[in-house]
Structure 1
């Protein structure tokens, strides 16, 4: 079996050798057929006639032309058909030179560059030319079996070549469709990975920015009052510990999404939402930022993705207030149900002139961009900018019916 496979691969790698072998086989068949008289009595068909020198020469030349049938199929068909016409007009007895034209016609019909109309035009032209010449100028009567057989063989060659070409085109189309589908699946997988990576990056940014800002503030307070008011310093350090613990828990939950499915250590805590808004506001109050919360959402049950996005928008907006609005700033948070949407607004009256370590922040973060990406992904809108008379305003409109995939319902 391995020997046959090796031989098959070798022949595919050397098509000229295969064509030369085919040409030799066709020559042997033509020479053998030239000694057979189909009209002879039973038992005396072989050796009933002998080809002449012209017939042998034409058979040899037409078989040699088949060696180039892949490189120039139409030229080989024209050459073999010409040799066949000469033999049909002059041969007596006839030699089966037309056998080479049949092989050449099959090659033309099966070529991938040939379409079906061209196949039938070339086939009909070859059939009518060879058969008509044999009937009109040949030494045999026009109704002889040899003439009708010539018509049948050329017709079958054209039909077989067209069938082979159609099958090859069908297989090629199936393979191309499968490859295109595979490319599409790979592109979709890459797109989903990129979206998930961006979503996790936004969550990490929100978690780190919020809690580290609180830790920074409380650590600064503790350092400032450590000597004079140790009780207040202890309270500030307790807030630092609580904020760092919350940061670690949220980071663990977010990074846990990267684990394999079925991992028993994967987090099962629900994603934060507006039900934790009071707790979120309390962490900022403990950090020295007065926060007022007003809700008029009438207990609306939000999809998990919308609930998380609203929470993250408020968290990021309050973090920016604490970092950039100045030490005397106050913040107001409102959550209102308006028709099919939930509207989240965060206002502050800050001067926009942070002090201390915050004054050295470059302000080049991705907080506002992340908020807009979250809201836009859910089919909503988010605007942020300075308020008339001072301060800053963040306003997000989120549809109550989320259009996101379930994959974004967890954080």
Structure 2
């Protein structure tokens, strides 16, 4: 509770700075008069209060100096100059010698001491040093020349100590205030950096989940669409083939639901049930992926030397990306090239890089295909607003997703039509960090 009370008092004083200056001026006036009326050297060696008379000159000079202190925030340099001159004049015109009581004028230095503290507290280091040195030298020198005797009397040394202390304290307070301001600025900047980093990570996670959902939904829905069309076409003439197509529809939808459940499980919060622990698909299940497309009527051949050995040595990120690239490329062939198209999948290890190439001959009977991919792959808008830079074709979410997956691993993805017809997807994925740097700079 006392700490809170002090904080409240401090805030109120900060809200009324000129009232605080008036109180400081009144307190300084009282201190000057008390010092002028005090005998510093009593019979027992202790100061004797109210043992000396305060002259009208001393009271007038004290009033002028303290009145100037009320303006110390508005004009610190003029106030220091005025109070310093008043103190110098008081020391010079006072009668020298301890018998005459000239040392009582030394109390007038209280006003320039406060003014010097204000100047040191509100200006730069260089200004504070030279102004402080000039003030300390002038007041101390004047006191030693015209003040109490001998020149090294404690009153004169007291002026030296108080003026030097005022300059040092003002400098220290200003440095501390600048240090606190710098700490606060760094804390605010660090907070902004953390917020920006959190937003960036959230955006990256959203993009990753969006790619996963797109790949799962686009692949399986494309197969379901093809098989449903086959079933509808042969329902009356060949019911057995229609039943087989519907069975493929059921199998593709079951796989779609399972993968969607795995992906959506990543969004669960810590207080909910545990997310699925089934590993993400990879090249080890590439045969199942290709079999699904073959059941949908797409001719696919796979050339993957020592695929099992390669898949076992791949990291989970590279394995999943390679699988998704093949899945997305074959899905686009199925959607846009149509039935009767032949696609070739080539997967090989080229030194420190995994090379993936999916090529179709563009010989299908797709209604919108001109051989190979149509200008818009799955997930794009009708106006072709998303443009795949560098390939010359209008890319939708599928091609963009493949590029993002490759870029996330510091790889490269090149897509485009072939000169003799058809379309090609070529992706190179570095297998290690060092090869990733080489692949990026290549």
Per the normalisation by structure 2, the TM-score is: 0.85
Q: Deviations over 1:162-200 (max 9, x none)?
A: 222222223333332222222222221111111111111
Q: Does the CA-based 8 Å contact 1:297-1:335 persist in structure 2?
A: no
Q: Does 1:303 align with 2:315?
A: yes
SS of residue in 2 equivalent to 1:397: strand
User: Residue 124 of structure 2 corresponds to which residue in structure 1?
Assistant: 114
Match of 2:160 in 1: 151
Aligned equivalent of 2:388: none
Q: 1:351 to 1:340 in 2, by over 3 A?
A: same
Counterpart selection for 1:32 from 34, 42, 53: 34
Whole-angstrom distance in 2 between the partners of 1:187 and 1:178: 14
After superposition, where does 1:11-22 map in structure 2 within 5 Å? Answer: 11-22=13-24
Separation of aligned partners in 2, 1:401 and 1:5: 58
Matched, 1:214 2:223: yes
| Residue deviations 1:201-224 (CA, integer Å, cap 9, x gap) | 111111111111111111111111
Which runs of structure 2 are paired with 1:322-401 in the superposition (5 Å)? 322-351=334-363, 354-355=366-367, 363=377, 364=380, 365-401=396-432
Between 1:48-57 and 1:38-47, the stretch displaced more is: 38-47
CA contact (8 A) 1:329 1:350 kept: yes
Could you say which residue in structure 2 is the equivalent of 1:185?
Answer: 194
Match of 1:280 among 285, 289, 301: 289
Q: Does 1:105 align with 2:107?
A: no
TM-score after normalising by structure 1: 0.91
**Cα deviation per residue 1:112-144 (whole Å; 9 max; x = unaligned)?**
x422x3322221110111111223344755333
| Partner of residue 58, structure 1 | 61
In structure 2, the residue matched to 1:174 is 183
What is the match of residue 79 of structure 1? 82
**Partners in 2 of 1:209 and 1:44 — Cα distance?**
97
Change over 3 Å in CA distance of 1:333–1:360 after alignment to 2: closer
Partner of 2:328: 316
Give the drift of 1:159.
1.6
SS in 2 for 1:291: strand
Displacement of 1:262 in angstroms is: 6.4
Shift of 1:362: 5.2
SS in structure 1 of the partner of residue 302 of structure 2: strand
**231-240 or 309-318: which moved more?**
231-240
- Cα distance change on mapping 1:262 and 1:294 into 2, 3 Å: farther
Over 3 Å counting, the alpha-carbon distance change for 1:258 and 1:71 in structure 2 is farther
After superposition, the Cα gap between the structure-2 partners of 1:289 and 1:402, relative to the gap in structure 1 and judged at 3 Å, is farther
Do the aligned partners of 1:294 and 1:335 also contact (CA within 8 Å) in 2? Answer: yes
Query: Which SS does the other structure have where 1:328 is aligned?
Result: coil
Whole-Å Cα distance in 1 between the matches of residues 205 and 85 of structure 2? 69
Secondary structure in 2 matching 1:68:
coil
SS of the residue aligned with 2:424?
A: strand
Deviation, structure 1 residue 247: 1.1
Cα distance in 1, alignment partners of residues 261 and 288 from structure 2: 19
User: Which runs of 5 or more structure 1 residues have no equivalent in the other structure?
Assistant: 405-411
Distance verdict in 2 for CA 1:192–1:44, change over 3 Å: closer
Q: Deviations over 1:270-309 (max 9, x none)?
A: 0110011100001111111011111124512100000000
Equivalent pairs counted in the alignment come to 402
Please give the alpha-carbon distance, in whole angstroms, between the structure 2 residues aligned to 1:254 and 1:355. 33
TM-aligned CA deviation for residue 32 of structure 1 = 0.8
Note closer, same or farther for the CA distance 1:384–1:360 as it changes in structure 2 (3 Å cut): closer
Distance 1:242 1:22, change over 3 A: same
In structure 1, how many angstroms separate the alpha carbons of the residues matched to 2:428 and 2:376? 29
Q: Which runs of 5+ in 2 are unaligned?
A: 96-101, 381-395, 436-442
Higher RCO, Cα 8 Å, sep 6+: 1
Tell me the CA shift for residue 64 of structure 1.
Answer: 1.9
Could you tell me whether the CA contact under 8 Å between 2:337 and 2:369 is conserved in 1? no
State the alpha-carbon separation in 2 of the partners of residues 228 and 372 from structure 1.
44
Q: Contact 2:340 / 2:365 at 8 angstroms: preserved in 1?
A: no
Q: 2:336 touches 2:369 (CA, 8 Å); kept in 1?
A: no
Name the stretch that deviates more: 94-103 or 304-313.
94-103
